[in-house]
Structure 1
Amino acid sequence: MPHTIVLGAGITGVTTAHSLLKRGHQVTLVEKHRYPAMETSFANGGQLSASNAEVWNQWQTVWKGLTWVLKRDAPLLLNLSPSWHKYSWLFEFLNNISGYRRNTIATVDLALRARTKLLEIADEYEIDFDLERRGILHVYYDRAGFERAGAVNNLLRQGGLDRWPVTNEEIRTIEPALGAEFYGGFYTPSDATGDIHKFTRSLAKICERQGARFYFDRAVIDIEASGRSVKASASAVGAPHSTAEVLEADNIVICAGVASRTIGARLGDRVNIYPVKGYSITVHLDDQDSQGGAPEVSLLDDRAKIVTSRLGLDRFRVAGTAEFNGTNKDIRTDRIKPLVDWTRTLFPSVATARVVPWSGLRPMMPNMLPKIGRGKRPGVYYNTGHGHLGWTLSCATSEIVADLIVASGARP
């Protein structure tokens, strides 16, 4: 039986393990945390959003970023301190502006395939993850924003997405809880939301029952890939390297989020991932007024760059912002406050007395596409760099990388 090691037990690692188990592989997952889904897969915006597949590589993003550079509460914040990695990544980001249309359409196609697969998995195992299939509503306050969104909508529809414009009156019909006036919006009824943490933890338990071995609290010390096998040395977090256990397999898949860049470098591969920090708040809806006043349809406010999801009866997730500030995961009050203020403004009946803030690092490639495929050395594969769409894309990219491994065959 072919044996594959998967590094990382977030959404991409666990879905990769599941795809390999389905193809008859023995799977070992190595995770630095005590449990699955404890980093970027912990408290994201919750959207399974093919409608948010537009890549960021365009001049408008650059100009907005420059105007926001001195605003500490801006939706996009760039720390100007010198960093070769950061500025080389940004230069490569600019070089990929020419691929904006092509990469957006490709991302939509990938998102639609992923959504189908995720729902199949959820149905097969009856996974409860607060799934809501009420669609996603994008809202715009002025004509300029709405018309620009119309051009984006044409690209999304070329990728196969069923999405259409709606008036302010139709917005109120779709989501009556909204307490603001809009010029218009776009609605994608086929999109969905759910709790990424609950889904990933549940799928990890299923993988374990199917024979996957999990090594938690393990730091990868070294990786060797030869023509015959792959070896990963992993020791307990904080333990001496001399205590490391050597795991040997036919293949290894790197699904390690922002750490994939460092791991890739050890294997001779350039994986130019940059950590783009995002924030979320989970608003606990502890009373009937809050539960009735919070939206049930998922929202994307393009001006504020904020997304929402309703997670069951008593939780409301609000997420947004992009911060280029290295691997710093500090939760800043001036970045959380806009999320709370936005909630209070648009949903005045929702109490914000119990709000749980969170920050996570999105692993982003400069072209905004995930890195999927083989490394330079035999038996090395990557499924990483999904940026803000890990939840949306992982169930498709895991299938792609699993098929690649099967097609390569177990090496002698």
Structure 2
Amino acid sequence: MKVIVLGSGIVGVTTAYQLAMAGHEVTVIDRQQGPALETSFANAGQVSFGYCSPWAAPGIPMKAMKWLFMQHAPLILRPKFDAAMLSWLVKMLSHCTSERYAINKSRMLRLADYSRIALAQVRAETGISYNGGMRGTLQLFRTQQQLDASAKDVKALAADAIPYEVLDRDGCVRSEPALAHVREKIVGGLLTPKDETGDCFKFTNALAAIADRLGVRFVYNTVVKRLDVEAGRRVRGVVTDRERIISADAVVVAFGSYSPLFLKPYDVKLPVYPVKGYSLTVPITDASRAPRSTVMDESYKIAITRLGDRIRVGGMAEISGYTNDLGQARRRTLEHSVTDLFPAGDVAKATFWSGLRPMTPDGTPVIGPTQIAGLFLNTGHGTLGWTMSTGSARVISDLVSGRKPEIDATDLAIARYA
């Protein structure tokens, strides 16, 4: 089959690789000049198969009210007259119940654990290198209240047989020795030892090069203007800004936050909205004060990840539409979190970045077919695109190929919102 993949971020490139491995003739189209130059460029670096939770959770509405008045808030809301934003917020709030949280968390863990297996297979197939590490994620609690609240996550991990360890202060220091310098600031943690780390930009570019050698055609600096859909509601290809039709038997939309805008003319109602995140990449000057893997600072919802001789500090959720400005207040929050726990680098020389995460109201990505024959979606991964990309790519490759996926994917498709 001829398959077009729209987007060359981590999700698009892993999709193209899996489709090529399945024997398809694949073309990837992107408006950028190369792969992973938007949301995949400088994410937090965590590959969090166990630390994997929906933002919509019990208690979030009350927490959100408090966060709005914090100096270093993990959530920033810039309300505007935007029907899509309002609709998304209402849907998200409807999922802030214990019942919905349990369903959504289990669904996300299923996909994430499958992605862990798929990523290991990609490494074995390719020998790919990307500053990868396999020391787990430590969710760090500064208060007893945070530690007590982690019980719901522990319950979900246990139910899905995901390995975990609840740690006291000494256990946290054993896991991350640099925390010995600040042990009085923490009360405990939750370790998910199967989690990994890695540079998403390096991985995506390396895999794109491998996919190219497999025969995948990458078309950059090209804007996709519209789908080519025949009267019987079957996709036939796409039309680009070069005024030519690229024909295909199937099209996979992996445009991230821009997917709902692209799909709107075709009555594909995709509840994905951009939630902006920020990151700092800090050069390490004192390795003894740096983390070994990923530490998630629960107070600020910020991930601090070791990537070779750098520390990647990423997090926050800003709901402000399709804006990509770099607010200095957000930089100060990232600097505060990392210097408070791991003063190991020169933050004055850090690179500051932001990206638009494609978030669904229930936290789970949208993977599967649409009402238009031959049109598939692989988007809406939120903060977990790097984590879920390889598993999502395997699922979509199976669906495009007419095979039954190795995991239950029926509740991943857009039909769950019908």
TM over 0.5, yes or no?
yes
Q: Where do residues 56-135 of structure 1 align in structure 2 (5 Å cutoff)?
A: 56-71=55-70, 73-98=72-97, 99-135=100-136
Letter in 2 for 1:57: A
Conserved? CA contact 1:225–1:379, under 8 Å = no
Aligned to 1:208: 212
TM-superposed deviation, 1:137: 0.8
Letter in 1 for 2:118: K
TM-superposed deviation, 1:88: 0.7
SS of the residue 1:52 aligns to:
coil
TM-superposed deviation, 1:344: 1.6
TM-superposed deviation, 1:394: 1.0
SS of the residue 1:151 aligns to:
helix
Which whole-Å CA distance do the structure 2 matches of 1:58 and 1:188 have between them?
20
Whether 1:328 aligns to 2:317 is no
Whether 1:220 aligns to 2:216 is no
Match of 2:299 among 286, 299, 303: 303
Which whole-Å CA distance do the structure 1 matches of 2:237 and 2:337 have between them?
49
Match of 2:202 among 184, 198, 202: 198
Whether 1:138 aligns to 2:142 is no
TM-score, normalised with respect to structure 2? 0.92
TM-superposed deviation, 1:277: 0.2
After superposition, the C-alpha distances for 1:222-246 in whole angstroms (9 at most, x for unaligned) are 21223565221112xxxxxxx4221
Whether 1:234 aligns to 2:236 is no
TM-superposed deviation, 1:59: 3.6
SS of the residue 1:97 aligns to:
coil
After superposition, the C-alpha distances for 1:324-359 in whole angstroms (9 at most, x for unaligned) are 000101011000111112222212343323110110
Letter in 1 for 2:252: V
SS of the residue 1:322 aligns to:
strand
Which whole-Å CA distance do the structure 1 matches of 2:70 and 2:288 have between them?
34
TM-superposed deviation, 1:292: 2.7
Aligned to 1:161: 162
TM-superposed deviation, 1:28: 0.4
SS of the residue 1:160 aligns to:
coil
Conserved? CA contact 1:134–1:191, under 8 Å = yes
After superposition, the C-alpha distances for 1:22-75 in whole angstroms (9 at most, x for unaligned) are 111000000010000011110111111022211121241111112222446411
Match of 1:402 among 397, 404, 408: 397
Which whole-Å CA distance do the structure 2 matches of 1:59 and 1:189 have between them?
26
TM-superposed deviation, 1:152: 1.4
Which whole-Å CA distance do the structure 2 matches of 1:205 and 1:382 have between them?
23
Q: Where do residues 277-292 of structure 1 align in structure 2 (5 Å cutoff)?
A: 277-285=276-284, 287=285, 290-292=286-288
Whether 1:170 aligns to 2:181 is no
Aligned to 1:249: 248
- Bigger drift between 397-406 and 317-326 goes to 397-406
Over aligned residues, Cα RMSD in angstroms?
A: 1.5
Which whole-Å CA distance do the structure 2 matches of 1:42 and 1:153 have between them?
31
Conserved? CA contact 1:137–1:188, under 8 Å = yes
Which whole-Å CA distance do the structure 2 matches of 1:101 and 1:61 have between them?
14
Matched residue pairs, number?
397
Q: Where do residues 269-284 of structure 1 align in structure 2 (5 Å cutoff)?
A: 269-284=268-283
Conserved? CA contact 1:8–1:254, under 8 Å = yes
Which whole-Å CA distance do the structure 1 matches of 2:9 and 2:280 have between them?
20
Which whole-Å CA distance do the structure 2 matches of 1:71 and 1:171 have between them?
26
Aligned to 2:407: none
Whether 1:387 aligns to 2:385 is no
**Consecutive unaligned residues in structure 2, runs of 5 or more:** 405-418
Conserved? CA contact 1:108–1:160, under 8 Å = no
Letter in 2 for 1:109: R
Which whole-Å CA distance do the structure 2 matches of 1:296 and 1:59 have between them?
32
SS of the residue 2:402 aligns to:
helix
**Consecutive unaligned residues in structure 1, runs of 5 or more:** 236-242
SS of the residue 2:282 aligns to:
strand
Which whole-Å CA distance do the structure 1 matches of 2:151 and 2:196 have between them?
21
TM-superposed deviation, 1:119: 1.9
Which whole-Å CA distance do the structure 2 matches of 1:284 and 1:230 have between them?
48
Residues 47 and 131 (structure 1), Cα distance of their counterparts in 2 relative to 1, 3 Å cut: same
Residues 122 and 333 (structure 1), Cα distance of their counterparts in 2 relative to 1, 3 Å cut: same
- Bigger drift between 54-63 and 207-216 goes to 54-63
Residues 220 and 85 (structure 1), Cα distance of their counterparts in 2 relative to 1, 3 Å cut: same
SS of the residue 1:252 aligns to:
strand
Which whole-Å CA distance do the structure 1 matches of 2:119 and 2:313 have between them?
22
Which whole-Å CA distance do the structure 2 matches of 1:168 and 1:59 have between them?
26
SS of the residue 1:221 aligns to:
strand
Conserved? CA contact 1:363–1:384, under 8 Å = yes
Conserved? CA contact 1:129–1:199, under 8 Å = yes
Which whole-Å CA distance do the structure 1 matches of 2:36 and 2:344 have between them?
32
Aligned to 2:348: 353
Whether 1:369 aligns to 2:364 is yes
Which whole-Å CA distance do the structure 2 matches of 1:408 and 1:378 have between them?
16
Conserved? CA contact 2:277–2:357, under 8 Å = yes
TM-superposed deviation, 1:408: 7.5
TM-superposed deviation, 1:378: 1.0
Which whole-Å CA distance do the structure 2 matches of 1:159 and 1:106 have between them?
10
TM-superposed deviation, 1:96: 2.3
TM-superposed deviation, 1:302: 0.8
- Bigger drift between 64-73 and 211-220 goes to 64-73
SS of the residue 2:257 aligns to:
helix
Match of 1:186 among 186, 190, 200: 190
- Bigger drift between 93-102 and 329-338 goes to 93-102
- Bigger drift between 119-128 and 330-339 goes to 119-128
Letter in 2 for 1:49: S
